[in-house]
Chain A
Amino acid sequence: KNQVEQSPQSLIILEGKNCTLQCNYTVSPFSNLRWYKQDTGRGPVSLTIMTFSENTKSNGRYTATLDADTKQSSLHITASQLSDSASYICVVSADTDKLIFGTGTRLQVFP
């Protein structure tokens, strides 16, 4: 069964600190893996998209990694800001371009 699991479910950090969110997937055949940021009351916004051959991709203070062998991905946020408070959703695309969504990690950054 195609599935995407994320951990932790929620996370609280202080402004300026780094954090790492995890994503494990069992999706086959694999096409690409995406990380989305969803602010409260808004639609998801794409942060990174990685194909099978990419093992790291950065977007500003966001760095995603992908290990296709172990079917794991992580999203590292450097020097967190209050505006990073949001839900982060890991999404895996199967070969048919169908997206399988994780349930997200809710991040809260406090001053």
Chain B
Amino acid sequence: EAGVAQSPRYKIIEKRQSVAFWCNPISGHATLYWYQQILGQGPKLLIQFQNNGVVDDSQLPKDRFSAERLKGVDSTLKIQPAKLEDSAVYLCASDKWGGTYNEQFFGPGTRLTVL
């Protein structure tokens, strides 16, 4: 079974520029998550999709971040314009129902550096 794919793996941009990340979840996983992980901290949920609908985006800074999952499969996360504090690893995860709980599988992440 192929894992969660993300690209690019690394991105360096200057502040005020825009950037986009792509995620392809595990086939058949209906739920997709985007997390932000700042160095030395645990992941913070940005947005959760169920198929192509948003379940939770309460912690997404909507003035600069946007995400979409148009066909209920791939997803993109965009930042425009980027700030220095956006430097972090952006993790995508998808999950399947295990009968008692949802087990999340994470991608390798995209490391963003904003200069």
Q: Report A's interface with B, CB cutoff 8 A.
A: 4, 31-32, 41-46, 49, 51, 89, 91, 93, 97-99, 101-104
List of B residues within 8 angstroms of A32 by Cβ: 100-101
Chain B interface, number of residues (Cβ within 8 angstroms) = 22
If A99-B45, A102-B42, A103-B42 touch, does A44 touch B103 (CB 8 Å cutoff)?
Answer: no
Ranked nearest first, the 7 interchain pairs of A and B with the lowest CB-CB distance are A101-B42, A43-B106, A44-B106, A32-B101, A103-B42, A43-B108, A43-B107
Nearest CB to that of B43 among chain A residues?
A: A101
Given contacts A43-B108, A49-B101, 14 further A-B contacts (CB under 8 A): A32-B101, A41-B109, A42-B108, A42-B109, A43-B93, A43-B107, A51-B101, A89-B42, A93-B101, A97-B101, A98-B56, A99-B45, A101-B44, A102-B42
B103 is contacted by which of A43, A46, A101, A102 (Cβ under 8 Å)?
Answer: A46
**B15 in contact (CB, < 8 A):** no
Q: Report B's interface with A, CB cutoff 8 A.
A: 4, 40-45, 56, 91, 93, 98, 100-109, 111
List of A residues within 8 angstroms of B42 by Cβ: 4, 89, 91, 101-104
B111 & A45 in contact (Cβ 8 Å cutoff): no
List of A residues within 8 angstroms of B109 by Cβ: 41-43
User: How many pairs of residues, A versus B, come closer than 8 Å at their CB atoms?
Assistant: 48
A4, A32, A89, A99 pick with most chain B CB within 10 angstroms: A99
Nearest CB to that of B40 among chain A residues?
A: A103
Q: Can you offer 30 A-B residue contacts whose CB atoms are under 8 A?
A: A4-B42, A31-B101, A41-B108, A41-B109, A41-B111, A42-B108, A43-B4, A43-B91, A43-B106, A43-B108, A43-B109, A44-B43, A44-B91, A44-B106, A45-B106, A46-B103, A49-B98, A49-B101, A51-B100, A51-B101, A89-B42, A98-B45, A98-B56, A99-B45, A99-B104, A101-B43, A101-B44, A103-B41, A104-B41, A104-B42
